[in-house]
Structure 1
Amino acid sequence: MSEEHKAPQTGADTPRPGGGPGGGPGPGFGGMGKGPGPGMMGMPVQKAKNFKGSFRRLIGYLYPHRVKLLAVLLTAILSTVFSIVSPKLMGNATTKIFEGVMQKMNGVTDAFDFSYIIQLILILIGLYVISAVFGYIQQYIMAGVAQKTVYDLRKAVEDKLSRLPLTFFDKRTHGEILSRAVNDVDNISNTLQQSLTQLITSIVTILGVIVMMLTISPLMTVILLLTLPLSFLVIKAIASRSQKYFIGQQKELGELNGHVEQMYTGHKIVKAFGHEDKSIAEFDQINEKLYHSGWKAQFISGIMMPLMTFINNIGYVLICVVGGILVTRNAIQIGDIQAFIQYARQFSMPIAQTANIANIIQSTIASAERIFELLDEEEEVPEAVHEKVIPAPKGNVRFQNVKFGYKKDAPLIENMNIDVKQGQTIAIVGPTGAGKTTLINLLMRFYEIDEGTITIDGIDITDMKRGKLRSMFGMVLQDTWLFNGTIRDNIAYGREGATEEEIVQAAQAAHADHFIRTLPDGYDTILNEEASNISQGQKQLLTIARALLADPAIMILDEATSSVDTRTEVYIQKAMHHLMQGRTSFVIAHRLSTIRDADLILVMNKGSVIEKGSHEELLANEGFYADLYNSQFTGGGTVPLTTAYTT
């Protein structure tokens, strides 16, 4: 089993609505406020496979907050209603001022009713203040509901990940898992925080504005509504044409990000093999595709706003003409035209927002569905109800008739029997795919065996809690894994509460103390994200020091010394031999010094232990192991050394 540190994958498979090129906020249909930019209408929408089922399940997370959600709905309605009434009152003030002007022109000295106008102004100020207060309360309550809901969802994901078997992670990339645990949860958070309240206010605004417009003039209301079908036709025509280019843009953007990330992480390799020109040519090719997809997507979607403005202006012209005629006939007041135009602008903006929110909700339910798929994954075999504990582990390990396969119909290990005594050092050798690392994974119960039993000190490992079982092991792997932090913290990770003296002793035993003290900050040296500010061999020494500090009953070394030089390995082997007295050790290694010193060598091939014994005994048998051993001297043999000792 190897430890890895991978950056999240970047690609087009995890789109985030409202973001990316062309996804920023832009002017609304009516030219007032902020609404969806043209790119958001054209962006590809991630759709749910089972919208209703996933929607109901997501609502289940909101159900405990139903009282607060009802308060959000009520405050949203009140905030919107108070803002909707304002244009009508402003129209009344305009009408009163117009009447005063006309009377003034006719010679009336006291033409303006200032008390009435001031009263309307005060009422308007009050309405705006009340609307703002209810809007603030709405956002405050919704923020708490959204964050608590997402907190519960994120906690459920975190708990689930800790209960999933290793096979789940083997079948999926780190980027995909991170995308579900981070991007999809954030997507839901943003929708609950912003889009849900916006949807409520948009619907209330549309209904309220229609009612207010009908009270002013049913005729002008019908004229305005007749422009809507034309608007929807334009949206549909442009969105359908731009969407394929946005899909291409996201695809090429993912490829470009992947290429840049790969070239950056492998910068030294690219330089060493002189592939700079090839890398640049590949970048240019992807960038060219991205350029063509990008400008076509932006150009086509950019046509939407001018066309929508043109359609809206036609509506305004018709409203003004018809309204003017109605005023001359005394059918409506002049202030009503002003109020109606304001309502027309208020009406078009929430329609655009609602159309965009519909896309966002579709994508949000798809994100929820991806999270629910994760939550529904089959978990590890439940822990033992009646836990057995080994107070002082000795390290006696026994495999009895063990059978295991990654697939049920393709067994890898069959009828494996191994008996390891306390303090023995067991070397495991064999060609690639022989099952060496799998054996270790079964021992630590990262995988469940199909048949047979594995015991430690006579206790079946399935009768122990996984945490207690794994605490008996210390591991040093070929692929080092260090945290972004100080060297001291990385070593101390081996045992909670370790003192400074114990940390230094572990580093000295691993022959890491000398190089640590030569660093500018010594044990306080900060390792970067990839720990690339120290060499590979030094990283290995730190992981060995961490394992030594853990002071486990059983030690596992999987190609642990492959990254250090021969002299350092000798020092490490001496230190390990001294510290492993009385401890059982499983060693997967290709260095012959490790194999010679082992108390027992297990030779594996095709999932079975075909030979076992000491180094001398196996050579005397002149079997599979002897061929492996002799191949290093002859350059030939039955199995090449590079194959024989590679995990």
Structure 2
Amino acid sequence: MTLFQVYVRALKYLSQNKWRVTAVVIANIVLAVITIAEPVLFGRIIDAISSGGSVTNWLLAWAGFGLFNTVAYVLVAREADRLAHGRRASLLTEAFGRIISMPLAWHHQRGTSNALHTLLRASESLFGLWLEFMRTHLATAVALMLLIPTAISMDWRLSLVLLALSILYWIIGVTVMNRTKEGQASVEGHYHTVFSHVSDSISNVSVLHSYNRIEAETLALKDYTKDLLAAQYPVLDWWALAGALNRTASTVSMGIILVIGTLLVQKGEIRVGDVVAFIGFANLLIGRLDLLRQFANQIFEARSKLEDFFALEDSVEERAEPADAIDLGNVRGEVEFRDVTFGFANTSQGVHHISFTAKAGETVAIVGPTGAGKTTLINLLQRVYEPQQGKILIDGTDIAKVARKSLRNSIATVFQDAGLLNRSISENIRLGREGATEEDVTRAAEAAAAAEFIETRLNGYSTTVGERGNRLSGGERQRIAIARAILKNAPILVLDEATSALDVETEARVKTAIDRLRENRTTFIIAHRLSTVRDANKVIFLENGRIAEAGSYDELSQSGGRFASLLKTSGLLADDEAGEKAKLLQQ
């Protein structure tokens, strides 16, 4: 994108407050026009003094002008500040909502820290552009357009110096921007690297402590910042050179005006006041050209940040759901995978030609070795990923045509990682159903065998769980996640190793709660611990992303296939056989 395109798109975000923004901009333009009168007034005062005439009226006019200009500027700047701050706050909220609504596959591909960094840096850049647009950008442009013609009307010879100075500023600015374009883009890439490293390290701080990686990670960050500065310094050097050249040009121009003005006064062609006015014009022009240079520098530095942000916004728009997406309505819970295939880029992992049906109210266990595609299958059901081939249907409706919100309202999931937010226990459970009462929360916790440990805490249900629940044990986190699913009361239930973090005694209690929860619900159990799948109506054994075996627990355990082999390896098959013999002896 060109600088102009970046700037125009940045200003489009102000359209929500277009009338207030327009009023502020017009007020600033008026102030810029009035400001041009100041050198003229000052020149008239000098002429009156040198000629011995009355200066009272001129002084009063000049004082009145200065007072009005000051008060008006403060009021306009105050409104511009409020508008820019308010729009930045609303942009953060709007962009945050759009970003977290994106499918998990999008987040996995882009990286959470990358999206967060892009949003934060872009919001600051946009804030700066909005503020300066309302305060100075248009006002500066108008002042520059009026200043040269005004000066020419007074004396064309001195005006040529001002015109030459303007052209010189423009040449210096364009040259420096062309020289530093690639360097500034590189700087943004290094900023992303630094931010990602910091975010990654802090989110895994327990691992770093455990493996004594604190010093190593700090040194790595130091290397990343060195690379950042190595890319940044040449850009800064060019802009410093531009500043020096501009300052030199300004000083030389001022000297030329004084020399030419002195000669013209000596010849009697202009008055001393005219020279003073031109010196005022020159100072005003230099000030406005400096603002213009700062603006060019500002948008040049913002371009890389904003192009990243615009690409982020565009990708969100591309993934937006169609307006005709439907709601599932009352879900019975029949789920059908019809020749579903999905593969990850640059890897052989995924699922291939998966077909099976889970009838409403059935429990389906999905088992298999690590990397077989168990979690991928469930992620496809929740539209974390979209099938590359085939369909997934709920009650005969293709979920690709269903609004994600409606789909996920029908599915309650207990993840292997409980996924707790740094909030109270009550708030974490209440994520299952917005508007749930304290009584509802308590009942869900009791059903998940969580009430006992919650009530031993000093603050009970108001206890904050810490980041990702780090103030609780693994079993406690898991029981809160189960309580959350119980509270949601959805017709389809997904248990992704839901009891993996529980001890034997607690698991037995939670299993009773889960068995009650499974009643009249279609349930998918992802399991490595095969002891958890005995009660399933159907067992699907995945291997290399394909269905190797499917049937009931008893059928597969007696078939002599891969599932039976795993049962035998884990000792469960022997336990089952011993149990059957015991039953026969009792008979």
1:331 alignment counterpart: 269
2:357 alignment counterpart: 418
1:95 alignment counterpart: 47
Contact 1:83 1:128 in 2 (8 A): no
The 2-side partners of 1:95 and 1:436 are apart by 90
2:577 alignment counterpart: none
1:79 alignment counterpart: 31
Contact 1:51 1:366 in 2 (8 A): no
Question: 1:413 is matched by which residue type in structure 2?
Answer: H
Contact 2:113 2:195 in 1 (8 A): no
Judge which range, 227-236 or 339-348, deviates more.
227-236
2:393 alignment counterpart: 454
Q: How much has 1:600 moved relative to structure 2? A: 2.6
Contact 1:156 1:375 in 2 (8 A): no
The 2-side partners of 1:310 and 1:279 are apart by 46
Change (3 A) 1:564 1:336: farther
Contact 1:427 1:602 in 2 (8 A): yes
The 1-side partners of 2:91 and 2:206 are apart by 41
1:260 alignment counterpart: 198
Contact 1:416 1:608 in 2 (8 A): no
Contact 1:426 1:587 in 2 (8 A): yes
TM-score (norm 2): 0.81
Judge which range, 303-312 or 141-150, deviates more.
141-150
TM-score (norm 1): 0.75
2:455 alignment counterpart: 517
Change (3 A) 1:59 1:281: closer
The 1-side partners of 2:508 and 2:101 are apart by 40
Aligned residues: 566
The 2-side partners of 1:247 and 1:464 are apart by 40
2:412 alignment counterpart: 474
1:640 alignment counterpart: none
1:571 alignment counterpart: 509
Q: How much has 1:72 moved relative to structure 2? A: 5.2
Q: Percent identity?
A: 26
1:497 aligns with 2:435: yes
Question: 2:341 is matched by which residue type in structure 1?
Answer: F
* CA offset digits 1:198-234 (Å, max 9, x no partner): 2211111112221232233322222343345555555
1:26 alignment counterpart: none
Change (3 A) 1:466 1:208: closer
- Please tell me the root mean square deviation across aligned C-alpha atoms, in Å: 4.0
The 1-side partners of 2:483 and 2:241 are apart by 64
2:211 alignment counterpart: 273
The 1-side partners of 2:403 and 2:192 are apart by 42
Instruction: Pick the structure with more helix per residue.
Output: 2
Task: State which of 552, 560, 574 in structure 1 corresponds to 2:498.
Answer: 560
The 2-side partners of 1:224 and 1:49 are apart by 28
Judge which range, 260-269 or 235-244, deviates more.
235-244
Change (3 A) 1:249 1:551: closer
**Alignment map for 1:98-247 (pairs within 5 Å):** 98-100=50-52, 113=54, 117-131=55-69, 167-178=105-116, 183-184=121-122, 187-195=125-133, 197-228=135-166, 230-232=168-170, 235=173
Gaps of 5+ in 2: 573-587
2:342 alignment counterpart: 405
Q: How much has 1:631 moved relative to structure 2? A: 3.3
2:582 alignment counterpart: none
Judge which range, 177-186 or 323-332, deviates more.
177-186
Q: How much has 1:355 moved relative to structure 2? A: 3.6
* CA offset digits 1:270-318 (Å, max 9, x no partner): 3322334433443443344455555555455444444433332222222
The 2-side partners of 1:161 and 1:259 are apart by 21
**Alignment map for 1:308-387 (pairs within 5 Å):** 308-358=246-296, 360-361=298-299, 363=302, 366=307, 369-370=310-311, 373-374=314-315, 376-380=317-321, 383=324
Q: How much has 1:82 moved relative to structure 2? A: 1.0
* CA offset digits 1:313-352 (Å, max 9, x no partner): 2222222222222223332222222221121111022223
Contact 1:486 1:526 in 2 (8 A): yes
1:20 alignment counterpart: none
Change (3 A) 1:588 1:374: same
The 1-side partners of 2:446 and 2:267 are apart by 100
Change (3 A) 1:237 1:472: closer
